[in-house]
Amino acid sequence: MKGRVRVRFLDTRPLRSSQSFRDLWIGTSVSQVGGQIANMAVLAQVWDLTGSPVGTGAIGLATGLPMVLFGLLGGTLADTFDRRAVVRATTAGQLLAAAGLCAQALADNRNVLLLLALVAMGTSSGALGAPARRTFPVRLLPGDQVAAGLALTNVSFQAAMLAGPAMAGLIIAHWDLSAAYATQAVAMVLSMLTVLRLPAMRPEGADAAGGRRRPERGGWRIVLRRPTLWGSMATDLSATLLAMPVALFPLVNEIRFGGNPQTLGLFLSAVAVGGITAGLLSGTVTRWHRGGLVQMSAAGVWGLALACFGLAGPLWLALGCLAVAGAADTVSVVTRSALVQLETPDAYRGRVSSVEHVIGVAGPELGNFRGGLLASATSASFSLVFGGLSAILAIAAVAATNAPLRAYRTPPAAAKPVPGIADAAATTGQIS
């Protein structure tokens, strides 16, 4: 009975079995907290400069477009060069962008275009390195711990979403925006230190000296050839592009709750509370075998919860809807990430990961832009309800037309890979 209860909670084996993964997890967690603090500061600064939902929605445009352009390029880099070197260089770019944000705040910048340009710079650097980062867990962990490692990463992200906005509110209230941006810069320095400790991770087939090779052909087409891959990504895109609510938070807060900045922080924190709760129970999720059905169901709950948020009057109900949405998002992300990594051979993993990154990260940002535009033409409530219900219909269409995704089952737990051939062990027998 004791064992049955234990497996339902967060699986921490990856932190114990791999020091390299533990270093990666610590660095990623720190940078995520800094990123959330900076995101909140950017949101507050843009709202202060423009006072418009179109302005806050433009943040999504400034981040979404670089993610699409540079995320896809990053996939090719990850399948060509040593992935650790790619992440080192792009982390340095993110550090420079964070320093720029701090400098513009100290100079009392009133030009929103300069602010968005610096946001785009940091996003571009992160997008270039994201596909390489996504391949790290499957290289550093035994095959049967990959899903658990991804769940741990997601829990740290949700914890950052919970702590970051609250910390940003305190920092901005007691100091100013420059202090919030400086916190992100310090976090990126710490993240860089942990990346420096990682082992070399050359793509499968790269030469040992230079770590460079010609990528296998068909790296992008593999997504379209495998229904499980395109179906999983289409599910995520439907949920985020059609129902992302963050750009509407300042408007909802002003209309319903008097514009209190602490309430604005509670919106993001409520999403994180739900995500952390689901993450702490992820030991159960990572052992469910029907990953496709789990992801589609969770994505549908996300859309429904956000539609309800659009209609919620009392603050407690609004926060409850956001918490449910956060929990559903965590389940969807964990199952999608594991499915994509386990279904993709290492020779293509960088480029497929770049597609996943573009959809998983740019989708929400473009969804924020869509939500801001629709709200400016109608209302925040209409944008949220219409977006949530549209997402549910789109996900239902994916489920109806993609039988392989509905039938997908997570492969049996793999044995610990032999050093030097970790990628082959992690994917052998796991490509449908």
d(CA 50, CA 45): 9
pLDDT at residue number 6? 43
Q: Is the pLDDT of residue 112 over 50?
A: yes
Dist. CA 123–CA 71, nearest whole Å: 10
Residue 95: pLDDT over 50: yes
User: Bigger pLDDT: 9 or 284?
Assistant: 9
CATH superfamily of 13-201+220-427: MFS general substrate transporter like domains (1.20.1250.20)
For residue 345, pLDDT over 60 is answered with yes
- Dihedral angle sign, alpha carbons of residues 363, 367, 240, 361: positive
Whether the model pTM is above 0.75? no
Mean pLDDT of 181-203: 92
Is pLDDT larger for residue 166 or for residue 231? Answer: 231
- Going by pLDDT thresholds of 50, 70 and 90, the confidence category of residue 426 is very low
Q: Average of pLDDT values for 86-101?
A: 95
Q: Is 141 left (phi over 0), alpha (psi -120 to 50) or beta?
A: beta
Specify the pLDDT at position 56.
81
What mean pLDDT is predicted for residues 368-393? 91
Region 29-55: mean pLDDT is 89
With pLDDT > 70 as the criterion, what percentage of the chain qualifies?
87
Query: What's the per-residue H, E or C state across 219-256?
Result: CCHHHHHCHHHHHHHHHHHHHHHHHCCHHHHHHHHHHH
Report the range of poorest mean pLDDT among 206-215, 221-230, 231-240, 349-358.
206-215
How is residue 360 annotated by DSSP? Answer: I
In the chain, the percentage of residues whose pLDDT exceeds 90 is 37
What's the confidence (pLDDT) of residue 296? 93
| 44 pLDDT above the threshold of 70 | yes
Residue 64 or residue 389, greater confidence: 389
pLDDT in tens, 143-181: 677 778 888 888 888 788 778 887 888 898 888 899 999
**pLDDT tops 50 at residue 298:** yes
Would you state the pLDDT for residue 417?
38
Give the model's pLDDT for residue 306: 95
Average pLDDT over residues 234-243: 92
pLDDT score at 423:
34
Q: How confident is the model at residue 131 (pLDDT cuts 50, 70, 90)?
A: confident
Planar angle of CA 6, 9, 13, nearest 5 degrees: 80
Q: Is pLDDT of 386 > 90?
A: yes
Q: Where is pLDDT greater, at 427 or 404? A: 404
Q: Are 357 and 124 in contact (CB under 8 A)?
A: no
The per-type count for the chain, helices as H runs and strands as E runs, is 21, 0
Question: Cα–Cα distance between 170 and 173 in angstroms, integer?
Answer: 5
pLDDT band of residue 68 (cuts 50, 70, 90) is: confident
Q: Kindly compute the dihedral angle of the four CA atoms of residues 119, 124, 129, 130, in this order, to the nearest 10 degrees.
A: 70
Which stretch of 15-19, 47-51, 52-56, 249-253 has the lowest confidence by average pLDDT? 52-56
Residue 210 has pLDDT above 80, yes or no: no
Supply the pLDDT for residue 125.
95
* Per-residue confidence (pLDDT) for residue 414, from 0 to 100: 45
Mean pLDDT estimate for the chain: 83
> Residue 259 and residue 313: Cα distance in Å, rounded?
15
Distance CA 82, CA 213 (A): 10
